[in-house]
Amino acid sequence: MIMKLETEIMESRFSELMNKHFAASSIPRGIHCLSLRLTNEYSSNAHARRQLPSPELLPLVSNNSYHHFILSTDNILAASVVVTSAVESSLEPSKIVFHIITDKKTYAAMHSWFALNLVSPAIVEVKGVHQFDWLTRENVPLLDVVDNHNDIKDYHHGSHITETNLSDTTRKFASKLEVRSPKYISLLNHLRIYLPKLFPDLEKVIFLDDDVVIQCDLSPLLEIDLHGKVNGAVETCKGEGEWVMSKRFKNYFNFSHPIIAKHLDPDECAWAYGMNIFDLRAWRKTNIIETYHHWFKENLDSNLTLWKFGTLPPALIAFKGHVHPIDPSWHMLGLGYQSKTDIENVKKAAVIHYNGQLKPWLPIGLEHLRPFWTKYVNNSNDFVRNCHIMDS
């Protein structure tokens, strides 16, 4: 009787995890409509295919006196919010260059959006992964590793339930769902580790995730002395918030695994992706990329048991010793989780980050935090209006 009850509880937990996973991984109808209409526009409208940036501005794409931002995403609406919020918050928008990288299937739509919705005086470059000659399987072994690792795809929870492993099964199932997320196995999510190779002429850049909103001028970040380090980032072990500033290595890694226990300190402070200053000159002198490849493969060879979440853990190892902490007010985390958030702190933060499943463009997004994002959605745009974006 007890076993039956525990099994029912387990099935209920599985169902809850599945529902949340599918809700977070789904593409809202309005955003899907936007992508389709913009793709069609690219094929039928010469203005949607105009060169980005225009020929006379092309030299500025590699001019290191400008402020370079890099964004890797297949979400057109999210990209528009990031770019618009950055430009509107800048004291010198004419000095901004945005490098947007997307996948092949989204390229036409992404190009159309920024060709038809110029953010002058800022400069926007849109490139698809297929346009980078360096992105080959020889240079990016991650492509083969992900494609060939069937364990990511093959997991059936029912046959694993026993009386002695209920909680363990829930944890493993949640982990499997996490790595089955399109974000985890998408090259776009791993491109950040190849920035010095993809942009060989750039020296210092700000990398942004697509679930952030910029609320103040970020140019001072590029003036921060990183003291020879590669990555300027907010540390996540100095505050009190459950999701915002409380992460150490023990929160990500499985220290019961001998490989992890041997190489890492559970109390070492973690840092945040989502808004990072990267010194690409310093990076090119390191083996960060090779270390990332090594640990990513180690996790797959260990049946995904070395850590809990997506792409951050291998980066925590790869950037070990290469991170310079920046003030936490530059990057506020946790707006995509169900946790209490101080609205006044949200208003003050330079960058707010909807990391977590509750993205502001999803129906499951948190209503009291959504306005900070929606204020940068162009509701007067014909495509946005006709696709009923804000009704999705």
CA pseudo-torsion sign 360, 362, 363, 366? negative
The identity of residue 120, as a single letter, is S
Output the pLDDT for position 337: 82
User: What per-residue confidence (pLDDT) applies to 222?
Assistant: 97
Alpha-carbon gap, residue 49 to 178, rounded angstroms: 36
List domains and CATH numbers for the chain.
10-391 (3.90.550.10)
Rounded to 5, what percent of the chain is helix, strand, coil? 50, 15, 40
pLDDT value, residue 10: 53
Judge contact between 304 and 175, C-beta under 8 A. yes
Reading the chain (392 residues) residue by residue, the pLDDT tens digits are 655 555 555 555 545 444 444 444 457 899 999 999 999 999 999 999 999 999 999 999 999 999 999 999 999 999 999 999 999 999 999 999 999 999 999 999 999 999 999 999 999 999 999 999 999 888 888 777 656 554 454 433 333 333 344 455 555 555 554 555 555 567 898 999 999 999 999 999 999 999 999 999 999 999 999 999 999 999 988 655 544 557 899 989 999 999 999 999 999 999 999 999 999 999 999 999 999 999 988 988 888 899 876 678 999 999 999 999 999 899 999 898 866 788 998 999 999 999 888 999 999 888 999 999 999 999 999 999 999 987 75
DSSP state of 21: H
Please check whether residue 102 is in contact with residue 113, taking contact to mean a CB–CB distance below 8 angstroms. Answer: no
Question: How many Å apart are CA 110 and CA 122, to the nearest integer?
Answer: 17
Q: At what angle do helices 29-44 and 76-89 cross, to 10 degrees?
A: 90
For residues 210 and 208, give the distance between their C-alpha atoms in angstroms, rounded to a whole number.
6
Got the DSSP string for 126-191? EEEGGG-TT-STTT-THHHHHHH-GGGT---GGGG--TT-HHHHHHHHHHHHHHHSHHHH-HHHHG
For 185, list phi and psi in degrees, rounded to 5: -95, 5
Give the pair of three-digit tokens for residue 133.
Answer: 């000659």
How far apart CA 263 and CA 266 sit, in angstroms, is 10
Instruction: State pTM to two decimals.
Output: 0.86
Contact 69, 85 (CB under 8 A): no
Q: Give the per-residue pLDDT at 237.
A: 84
8 Å CB contact between 126 and 107: yes
